[in-house]
């Protein structure tokens, strides 16, 4: 049963690597992983602002509650049994710093991917 829908950028090499890892670990089908670049995305999810979803990871819980950024990451990893890897990012004294670092990463994710030698999935017009 899907507990969290994750709206991710499938054109980001590092993002896609993480999503594929989550997909492999998701034995109980707790995650519904949706690429915001899919041709029919806007039709299937008209309530998701594509520009906002491109700037920050979006997640939707089974009850319709929306969550964002590292909250999505931490919850997704928790649902596949690896939440302990990321739990510290939500500790009160680390959370504000982690959120700033995440926003920087999200804004520059394609450039950061290139630094790590990850080939861009998209064409030369990547964000």
Total domain count for the chain?
1
Report pLDDT for 126: 46
Q: Is it the case that residue 124 has pLDDT exceeding 50? A: no
Q: What is the mean pLDDT of the chain?
A: 92
The answer to whether residue 55 is domain-embedded is yes
What residues form DSSP beta bridges with 6?
A: 33, 59
The answer to whether residue 124 is domain-embedded is no
Query: Considering only CA atoms, which of 118, 108, 115 is closest in space to residue 13?
Result: 118
The answer to whether residue 123 is domain-embedded is no
Condensed to tens digits (0 to 9), the pLDDT of residues 58-70 reads: 999 999 999 999 9
Condensed to tens digits (0 to 9), the pLDDT of residues 16-39 reads: 999 999 999 999 999 999 999 999
Give the range of the structural domain holding residue 104, as residue numbers without chain letter: 4-115
Asked if 116 and 14 count as a contact pair (C-beta separation under 8 A), the reply is yes
């Amino acid at each position: 049963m899907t507990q969290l829908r994750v709206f991710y950028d499938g054109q980001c090499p590092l993002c896609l690597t993480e999503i594929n890892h989550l997909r492999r670990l998701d034995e109980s089908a707790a995650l519904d992983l949706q690429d915001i670049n899919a041709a029919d995305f806007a039709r299937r999810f008209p309530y998701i602002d594509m520009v906002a979803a491109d700037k920050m990871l979006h997640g939707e819980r089974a009850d319709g509650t929306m969550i964002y950024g590292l909250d999505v990451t931490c919850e997704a990893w928790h649902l596949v049994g690896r939440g302990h890897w990321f739990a510290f990012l939500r500790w009160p004294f680390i959370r504000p710093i982690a959120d700033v670092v995440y926003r920087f990463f999200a804004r520059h994710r394609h450039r950061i991917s290139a630094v790590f030698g990850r080939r861009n999935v998209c064409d030369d017009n990547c964000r």
